[in-house]
A and B are shown apart, each in its own frame.
Chain A
């Protein structure tokens, strides 16, 4: 992963992939790119097509309707490709984790992607409801190696 990260980290081009979000994280992404927070100083650029992107900003729980289109978009992203899962919903499905029309958060998506033979090189999690623009900047700085990782990841399973 380190090596793959090396290939994208100079200037990270991101594609915004809304999989069923409520818009709050989405407007905070835009906010991070506008003058006040100005993520472009780290070389972050929002691009119009997943084919140009290094990182996908995934917001929201993945709904059944958007799932096939999300898979198409991820497939179209060139390797190495990374996902930043934004917000509580993107990270773990949030309040919708078990409703009838979603499949939950990014974990269930990665599982489905594996079944279909689509690989993702790494997933970053930015929790919060909604995320703050600063949190997104922190994630970007983490990828670029400007800051230390503070949180540890743990997997808890419920029987």
Chain B
């Protein structure tokens, strides 16, 4: 192990080599480099220092300093550090070199910045990602001079399935029984084999980031963040609150952090059970689906007991939480957990010995480790491909440093591995709740007085059931100046192309479900196409994998 000083020196040296400057604040290293050195610096961080690429953030900082900026967020998982690589872009004709050749995972977020802020990326093929077809050219909703409620008059265009004679095309979606959310996949098949996949998403772009930067206040954004996703909403609101607390250097009461962690784990249990049910349904094992959802109902009541709501808990605030866990609730929780564990173990033993489950899941939808690393995939998808990463352990937040738990890792990379990772994680989650309930300290649950200075940067990764959520906040006057959300599905969808290729068509729904896609998180932002011309989105936008 390198000493802490040596690690930080490494990053300072990097910035000096690139003609930039570095500063360190808490666990975050800020590196500012000139734009011509951006690719070299990103490549060095990703390939040589083996930092994990999370997302890039475009910001309109013209009202502050007259520039657009782009910040690439990396995390150094082995040393628990956040590394932000920032560059300034001239406001007239904003152009910046693309890092996708060095870091393939940056494909989508660059195109998102192009759509929403009008930043052009050189050295790559651009395409529309987020905004709907017919969106007026030159209108970039995240620019500070565009009002949040400006609705352009556009005619709705429905895309038609393309006609090609060489390969058969199977459209899946946007409304399809196997998908619970509107997303459109187009599978190209030769016989029974899938040869290529195209994806048109972002049907659920609702403009959350813009809303958080305009109409809301700091505390209101907590509740808005919870509505990013109905399944892992609490992860988002915790992530936002932790990012703001980090930016403002607030000392949040320990008890609040414990309650956050406990509720986060309750959410993970319900989300994984939900996924297991849906996976069994897709496999054709409906008995399993019904039974899993039956025992999941216990968790929903547990959530209601602890927070007051079955879903969308609304207990997070900056500086703490709104609801305490008293002795009675603690006992009740432990009781429910015991029953749940018993029922779950019995059920999963039966479900995993059903031959069709094992047969259909093993060997299908394989994601090799190299591809997973290149595309910076997240969560159980990464852990099933042999990448040992979990933000709860690597970048400890809330009260996870007080719990001991195992991070299940499988190396097969197939659908069964992704299933088993979740099966194991569920047991760990129950153990975490028990440990934390046992160790919960006494004290207040909410910070009464605090100030949030302007212009500070906070970035936080929270391990959601699907992988790492990333929230990036620049503080402003009474509300965030810039708030960027990255959900794990955003990183995982590009990996679907690798998983689906050369697989039988019948396995496609299971493979799509196996990353536990959550499109409403992914699509917060929006996409446009010009002149109603069809411009297919490719999953990895022309990148060679």
Contacts and interface: CB of A to CB of B under 8 A. Distances in A.
Contact of A20 (B149, B204, B211): B204
B171 to A, nearest CB: 12
B224 A22 contact: no
A43 B426 CA distance: 34
Interface in A67-85: 67-69, 71-73
Contact of B227 (A48, A72, A95, A132): A95
28 contacts: A20-B182, A23-B518, A27-B231, A28-B311, A34-B293, A34-B297, A49-B177, A60-B204, A63-B132, A63-B204, A63-B205, A65-B203, A65-B205, A65-B526, A66-B203, A69-B158, A69-B203, A72-B158, A95-B227, A96-B206, A99-B148, A100-B141, A100-B148, A100-B150, A100-B207, A100-B526, A101-B205, A130-B311
Interface string A13-56: 00111111111111110110011100000000000111000000
Interface in B258-312: 274, 277, 289-290, 293-294, 297, 300, 310-312
B230 A102 contact: no
A49 B175 CA distance: 8
Contacts of A23: 180-181, 229-231, 518, 520
A72 B161 CA distance: 14
A66 B156 CA distance: 9
A3 B112 CA distance: 50
B293 A36 contact: yes
B205 to A, nearest CB: 5
A75 B306 CA distance: 43
Interface string B436-452: 00000000000000000
Given A31-B300, A98-B149, A101-B526, A22 B230 contact: yes
B151 A100 contact: yes
Contacts of B146: 100
Contacts of B156: 64, 67-68, 71
Interface string A86-103: 000000001110111111
Given A30-B180, A60-B204, A100-B149, 12 more contacts: A18-B180, A20-B206, A22-B230, A23-B520, A24-B311, A27-B231, A35-B290, A65-B203, A65-B526, A69-B174, A100-B148, A132-B310
Interface string B181-220: 1100000000000000000001111110011000000000
Contact of B520 (A15, A17, A22, A65): A22
A56 to B, nearest CB: 10
A22 B230 CA distance: 5
A101 B211 CA distance: 11
B6 interface: no
Interface in B143-178: 146, 148-152, 154, 156-158, 174-177
Nearest to A60: B204
B211 A69 contact: no
A99 B149 contact: yes
A43 to B, nearest CB: 18
Nearest to B227: A22
A61 interface: yes
Given A22-B229, A99-B148, A99-B207, A16 B527 contact: no
A61 B182 CA distance: 13
A61 B141 CA distance: 18
B210 A34 contact: no
Q: Is the interface of B mostly helix, strand, loop or mixed?
A: loop
Given A21-B204, A23-B231, A26-B180, A73 B175 contact: yes
A63 B157 contact: no
Given A27-B231, A96-B206, A66 B174 contact: yes
B157 A68 contact: yes
B180 A16 contact: yes
Interface residues of B, number: 51
Interface of A: 15-28, 30-31, 34-36, 48-50, 60-61, 63-69, 71-73, 94-96, 98-103, 129-130, 132
Q: Which of B141, B151, B277 has the most CB of A within 10 A?
A: B151
A151 B310 CA distance: 23
A34 to B, nearest CB: 4
A24 B206 contact: no
Contacts of B211: 95-96, 99
Nearest to B278: A30
Contacts of B458: none
Nearest to B304: A132
A41 B542 CA distance: 50
B158 A68 contact: yes
A36 B210 CA distance: 39
A27 B230 contact: yes
Nearest to A87: B230
Given A24-B230, A26-B181, A102 B520 contact: no
B233 interface: yes
Contacts of B228: 22
A61 B227 CA distance: 12
A68 B184 CA distance: 13
B177 A31 contact: no
Interface in B308-332: 310-312
B202 A36 contact: no
A132 to B, nearest CB: 6
B206 A63 contact: yes
A61 B526 contact: no
B297 A63 contact: no
A102 B290 contact: no
A132 B204 CA distance: 22
A25 B204 CA distance: 14
Interface in B223-243: 224, 227-231, 233
A102 B211 CA distance: 12
A27 B175 contact: no
Contacts of A49: 177
B312 A35 contact: no
Contacts of B274: 27
B293 A99 contact: no
A31 B231 CA distance: 13
A101 B149 contact: no
A100 B227 CA distance: 17
Contacts of B135: 64
B204 A64 contact: no
Contacts of B206: 20, 61, 63, 96, 99, 101-102
